[in-house]
Amino acid sequence: MTARAASIEHIWIVMTVGAAFMGPASTPIGIPDVLWSLLRGDWMASHGTLLDTDPFTSAPHVAGPLVNVQWLADLAFYGLDALGGLPLVITGTALAVALTYALLLYATISASGHVRLSCLAVWLVYVPAASNLSPRPQTLSYPFFALFILAVARAEWRRDTRWLWLLPPATAVWVNIHGSFFTGFLLLGCAALGRLVATRRVAPARPYLVALGACLLASLLNPYGPGALVYVATIGNNPIIRDFVTEWAPTTVSWHEGIFFFVSLVVLGALMLKSSLRLTAVEILALLAFGYLAWSAVRVIAWWSFLIAPILARLLASVLPNRALGKGRNHPVVNSLLMAGIVVVAGFSLPWTKTLVPFLPAGKQTILAEEMPIRLGEYLRSHGPPPSGNMLNTQKWGGYLEWATWPRHRVFLDGRIELHPAQVWFDYLEIVFPSTRWRTLLDKYDIQYMALATDDSPDLIADVRIDPGWRLDYEDDQAVVFSRSVLSSAGP
């Protein structure tokens, strides 16, 4: 882009995509999903094969081979880490987020025809998804869903079906990145059904139906074949995931993501009432399908926010007058300098340079978030485990502790709920929220030492402190480590 071509619209676009990049680029890793992804990627790269069992957790596993549908994301994160450590993992994730919002912005402009209102819509939908942009395989899947939205938007509003042919090869990659690939199928299904309902003819729906069939076939191009689809279809039926994992829980206003979701419903409803624009059957079906999913599970709110961007921009364009955001005067040289300034600011959001920003909060200046038990990890790395037996750990720290201490230590559980039978999780809950059976259950799983979060298990920690069979080996303001007193000569 030359200085002569630079316009105010270009500034809006660069500012929108740049802001999408700067948020995750400047945010420390706070979700441990990416850490066990790094560990699995390292293992696969070292052994030259996929994992069919899990060597990182000691709790009993479910019967049968391990199904890891995100194996390619594991290798991608491992590759970034091998090249540039965790800072490059964060940067790579931020680039994936920026690509997501760039594709989404293109889709929104295609649907509404308004650059600035499209940027405004993308800023608005960024808010509900902001807490779900951390480095994790799920985040690497977002650009694929944005591509599906773009393809449908181009087909609906520009009568350009060529983008649909990018979806099958994209699916072949997406199915190996993350289990969310089914959301693309759902969107194409809504588009096909919407055209059937609106026209009562098959011909207008044919491009979507053909693309959907090709994507279904492409989804079989993974190490597990149809097993990947079975995994995705059944994981939500796991009673532990359904009843105890927050991001799989139904959406309520008790979570800020839930507040944003319900606010978005109100905003869409108000705009629809005020606007003379009537949504198409495709838009209505997509809103109903993804709205139901977002209401059913908090984690789907990110996908909901992506989906509504083009619809929100179309409604805004019908309600706001053309002069609402003003056209302004174009000064190409000034515009180019402003865009260069945005790029420079984005550069200062990178993990390597963000500490140079004096007004950046201390909590954002680190690579790993403050809630990570870094001192506990350092202690365990310098102290070997007992001669026999297992470690019980606070589940939320499992991903960090296995990344920080494996193979010297092997965690009991991490966040991969589906790895273990439901009874293991019920027993774990009976230990950390101690029932009368907690000692028996520790014996059942041969637990010889425990690494516990002080704010998660205060009752268990209080019981263990006064139990003569256990001794305190380590304590800080986040964590404690206990070991069986009969192993005092070894210690953890």
The domains of the chain are located at 8-30+67-319, 374-487
Q: CA 17, CA 119: separation in Å to the nearest integer?
A: 9
DSSP notation for 218-244: HTT-STTTHHHHHHHHHHTT-HHHHHH
DSSP states of 363-413 as a string?
A: GGSSSB-TTS-HHHHHHHHHSPPPSS-EEEE-GGGHHHHHHHHTTTS-BS-
Q: Which residues of the chain have pLDDT under 70?
A: 1-5, 321-330, 486-492
| Six token digits for residue 351 | 């993990």
Q: 475 pairs with which residues across the strands? A: 480
CA-nearest of 371, 367, 370, 417 to 395 is: 417
Using DSSP's 3-state secondary structure scheme, residue 312 falls into helix
Q: Is the pTM of this model over 0.75?
A: yes
CB atoms under 10 Å from CB of 80, counted, come to 22
**326 contacts: CB under 8 Å, gap ≥ 6:** none
List of residues 6+ apart from 318 with CB closer than 8 A:
275, 276, 277
Q: Which residues pair with 450 in a beta bridge?
A: 392, 482
List C-alpha distances in Å: 362 to 132, 356, 446, 476.
21, 12, 41, 21
**Largest interatomic CA distance in the chain:** 79
Cα angle vertex 108, ends 102, 112, to 5°? Answer: 150
> What is the radius of gyration, based on Cα positions, of the chain?
25
CA distance 451 to 380: 9
Q: How far apart are CA 62 and CA 64, in angstroms?
A: 7
The whole-number pLDDT of residue 327 equals: 57
Residues with Cβ within 8 Å of 144's Cβ and at least 6 positions away in sequence, in order, are 170, 171, 173, 174, 177, 181, 184
Measured CA to CA, the distance from residue 63 to residue 423 in angstroms comes to 13
Closest CA to 5 of 336, 344, 339: 336
